[in-house]
Amino acid sequence: MEAASTSGGAGTIPRHKGVPGTGFVVDGFKACGKCKRATAFFLTHAHGDHYDGLNEKWSREIYCSTITANLVHMKLGVERSLMREMNPGDEAVVIEGVEVSVVDANHCPGAVQFLFVTSQGDRFIHSGDCRFHTSMKRSLQLFRKSRILFLDTTYCNPKHTFPCQEHSIQYVVDKVVKREALKERGKCLFLISSYNIGKERIFLAVHRATGKKLYATPKKIAHLELLQIDELTSALTDDPRATNIHLVKWNALGETWPYFRPNFVQMEEYRQMYGVEETMGFVPTGWTYEGKGTNFSSREKGPDRVFLVPYSEHSSFSELVDYVKFIKPEEVVPTVNIGETPKMLKHFRNLIDENSAKRRFLSAFTGGAPRKARKSDVAVKDEGPAVKSSSGKEDGPCDLLMAATGLKSLAEAQFLLKRANGDLEKAANFFFEDPFRKKVEVERPPRQSVKKGSTVVGQMPLSSFFGGAKSGGISLGSPKHHKTVEKSLEAGAQAAAGRGGSPCKALADYQAAVEREDYDPLSDALWSSGQPAPYMHLAGAFDAISQTKKRLKISRILLNMFRSLLVLSPESTVASVYLTIGTLGAEFSKMTLDIGASTVSQCISEVTGVSRQRLRQAYNDEGDLGDVAVLFKSAQTTLMPVKPLTISDVFAKLERLAKESGGGSSTRKKQIATDLIRASKGPETRYMVRTLVQCMRIGANRTSILQSLARASVFHHHREGNPTKERLDEAVDAFEKAYFLCPDIEEIVRELILKGAVESKLKPGIPVTPMLAKPSTGVENAVELMGEEEYICEYKFDGQRAQIHLEEGGKVSIFSRNLDDKTASFPDACAQLREALDPAVSSCVVDCEIVAVERSSQGYRLLSFQELSARPRGDAQKGSGDVALFVFDILHLDGNDTYALALSERHELLKRALPRRREGFVMLATSVAIPDDSNRVEATRSALLASLRAGCEGLMLKRLAKTYEPGRRSDQWIKLKKDYCEELQDSLDLVPIGAWWGNGRKAGWFSPFLMAAWDPEREEFQSVCRVMSGFSDEFYKKSREFFDQHLIDGPKGYYNTGEKPAVWFSPVETWEIRGADITVSPVHRAAFGKVHESRGLALRFPRFVRKRPDKTPEEATSSDQICEMFQAQTVKCSLRNQQR
């Protein structure tokens, strides 16, 4: 738990960065820069994690050392006049009545610890980053038993115990000197990694031992010169060939967190660049120490070797213990890894001055010195302690003791007071210092009758409520006991359920049964008729599915899962279907939870008590938030059993979560999600979390889930034996046809339960799942797929696929190809369709493309798809641009479904239904008939080129004699686009500069990658797209190994992108990427400002083709070339007066 803040809201001073009773802020410039309560700022040293928030605009005084002041002024541009210098050995300064002095922190040059003494005599130490050394004891003597020690807890874990700095320095020196003596092995380049400042003692020691200069970049030299170390300054050179000892930047030799990953590629580049036979690198940090004594770890590859030197400028664990033991403060406040505060404080529990803290705390209750309990307050009897009721005006000692210690049990407080003979302070000491804290020993008195309103005398101990516990005591902190109690209570609950006649199968038995062909939907289920269906029924099935990749077994599990629901709890079937798919309603309703993964992570953290940092680390390893939740929640135990979740209750709460809106809705959503996760058990946790983030990943898609439901309905209505495969297949076909025409699960399930079959009927107002086309690889392939039948070549416009419904009564709705309701985005399109329709038409459903156009007195011209993608919801007439409808099919007309008619017939109906269509508003899609006696390939190629000249994406080849097949990707329609034709397609050579972590199967790999073009004019890499297709698993594995050697802390100064990938790479290789076309983007920055004043260019539908080892990153496709390719696209060509 993080330390509490001294204020709230925007005026917060985090506790670990403040000084109690003052407005002082230590190393908290970002958090408290605008805080009105902050009155003085202190900077311990010039490392980025401590001065974060400072810049040239900073206007408030800063107290720090001279070296730190110089560095901050040079690096950040902070005015030198704002620096108030305080150096070790200087006299104390009084600031706002507080005496402040500094002592050396033994960290980096200029690093200090701040010592504060308030006017009340309270003393506080802010160590900053510090490595404790016995030499500090003299300067810290007067600060022993300080009120609070704000401690650098970087290595506050017993595993972090490494040697002293002197030993590590000598190790580096010995390695360098020994290798220098081996002349026969040729020249060696020594590389020592470091931050901007820090590790200077190693530099000097190597220089003294070898007498050689030390190479550093001019920037590094400028920093080191400010440290006022004359010997070091004179040893530096900016000529890399003047010496074979180079100081390199941190991470140049490899990443150190969370484990060391050497960068041998970089080391080999150094070796070849300077023409040496070997390289020897040194990475000095405590993180790399692997506890192997004097033989420090190393990594080697050919002539390149790197040593992991446990040279740390932070205290090791043993030094932290020594520091706290010497100071013996009343309290330790960690300043690093504060999410692990409770765990870290356990290490110092016996080293701090708890008595002072208790006296201070108790005095606040007693109005001064702790008092001894009066005889009237505590009655000591042979059978046990007793307490009289308080007067109401003043709390009795039991009340005070419970408030001071956090005790919840009155009997425990009475017992302590009895041991202390009524002395309140002594009783508190017993609590804090005795084994009583870990094991409550309360004598079990005989039961006594208690009159109404009387004081409780001889209260029963907690252990008496549990039959399995021994009388006289119970270990409240024992997980083993918790499990025993939970098991006992669950057994009692199961026995009670059994007495009511309800069979209760173990989860493992159910999971084994649900996979079998002889599954019994009654006896193998987890519940009985009349009981609510448990959520564990779904979670157990999902978990069984996750254990296999066999499609038949997955289908069988889903089938059996639905069979039990149809038999025992038909009212929960609809909710179960939605929960299995991972939605809250029909596809077209698009009800979403609107709760992000970050919020769900907070819920998991709250439920499990695990810090957000540990959750992030686990997520990087697991790749799935549900798996992470199970990982931490499985270690929990509960004293009392949690009420089982039911399917209907879970679904109802998720619906309530989705409907939350208005002020405070985020908090209410989070509370519902937290409650659901807390109530989940076993596999329920995994799928509850996945439901909340709306990513189920159960290994079954929507189609297979619905097919299983259809088969389950056949079993449900079949009376004898099992239904035949033909009967099951017929049911699946009928179900799919009905669902694609009217994807309303509630209505379909209702018919399945009542009739065992569904009727296929299109309903205007409910979107039809659209028919899709199969892609082709080129003109010849497309013509071949058409066969011998007559077909048309229909222009494929660069717009948004739309299905427009006119219901009886006049309501018009627009749905996207994904069944999203887009009516509010295109009110103008609704009006245009009404105007074009025959007034006699009462209802219809048409399929069309909505395209952005620019109208003028001469006609209209087509605009790019990008113009539509940014269209706002609401009144499209207000600056949103014009649109045209290119209608190409009709599925329903005046109460009659037309989708089953031939395309040629549907086209005739379409013309009659839209007699008032207008150019630039509503038009029939342009099409070219391909006669049987023609050269089909040439005729189709000619049509394709004509469509491209007209500003279209390509062609749709459609057989005239075929029907419309909702929900199918049919070979009756063939898609022929420019990017499918190799001879018409361009590719880009781009550079990977970053990536995100993959999920699911790709967990632990990089996917997608962020690709960039090179702008030689601005000398920067500009992002173009994310790419995640075209890769094999082997490629992912090798890419992870390769880019692990080229990871960098953040984007380089010459990266220009609006993206924020999880990891960044150095620009080291070039890939060939092919895509559909180039479009304007608000995120990507290629050719930024050259086409659009505030946007760049991006590649749509990119896919990886191959690596280009023949090209360096600077030889990648330039932003000007991308701009030229964009301008060459014919998307902006005019279309005037074309025959419809």
- What does the alpha-carbon distance between residue 835 and residue 816 come to, in Å, rounded to a whole number? 21
Kindly calculate the radius of gyration of the chain based on its CA atoms and give it in whole angstroms. Answer: 37
Distance between CA atoms of 1091 and 1099, rounded to whole angstroms? Answer: 14
Q: Which of 805, 935, 828 is nearest to 881 (CA)?
A: 828
The amino acid at 794:
E
Nearest C-alpha neighbor of 298 from the set 316, 280, 286, 313:
280
Question: How far lies 1086's CA from each of 320, 367, 585, 1019, 1058, in Å?
Answer: 51, 70, 40, 12, 11
Q: Any bridge partners for residue 1086, and if so which?
A: 1097
Structure tokens at 343: 């765990």
The residue written with tokens 């089938």 in the block is 559
Dist CA 106 CA 127 (whole Å): 10
Nearest to 578 by CA among 737, 749, 740, 699: 749
Contact assessment for residue 429 and residue 358, using Cβ atoms and an 8 Å cutoff: yes
Among the listed residues 668, 686, 1108, 1140, the one whose alpha carbon sits nearest the alpha carbon of residue 950: 1140
* Nearest Cα residue to 400 out of 379, 372, 434: 372
Distance CA 424, CA 401 (A): 7
CA 618 to chain centre: 11
CA separation, residue 133 to residues 64, 67, 268, 961 (Å): 21, 21, 39, 90
Q: With beta carbons less than 8 A apart as the criterion, state whether 312 and 127 touch.
A: no
Do 712 and 566 form a contact (C-beta atoms < 8 A)?
yes
Alpha-carbon span 129 to 113, nearest angstrom: 8
What one-character DSSP code corresponds to residue 447? P
CA–CA gap between residue 511 and residue 528 (Å, rounded): 17
> 42: burial class by Cβ within 10 Å (0-12, 13-18, 19+)?
buried
Long-range interactions of 1048-1056: CB distance < 8 A, separation 24+: 1048/251, 1049/251, 1051/993, 1051/994, 1052/1021, 1054/1019, 1054/1020, 1054/1021, 1055/993, 1055/994, 1055/1012, 1055/1020, 1055/1021, 1055/1023, 1056/1015, 1056/1018, 1056/1020, 1056/1021, 1056/1022, 1056/1023, 1056/1085, 1056/1088
d(CA 682, CA 540): 9
Asked if 1106 and 1071 count as a contact pair (C-beta separation under 8 A), the reply is: yes
3-state class (DSSP) for residue 75: helix
- Cβ atoms of residues 717 and 756 within 8 Å: yes
Question: 796 catalytic, yes or no?
Answer: yes
Q: Are 1102 and 1029 in contact (CB under 8 A)?
A: yes
β-bridge partners, 1010: 994, 1026
Alpha helices, DSSP H, located in 136-253: 137-140, 165-180, 200-210, 218-225, 230-235
H/E stretch holding 304 reads strand 304-309
The encoded tokens of residue 575 equal 């909710």
- Among residues 305, 302, 298, 348, the alpha carbon closest in space to that of 326 is found at 348
| CB 561 within 8 Å of CB 514 | yes
Active-site position among 358, 418, 633, 796 = 796
**381 DSSP 8-state letter:** E
Active site residues: 796
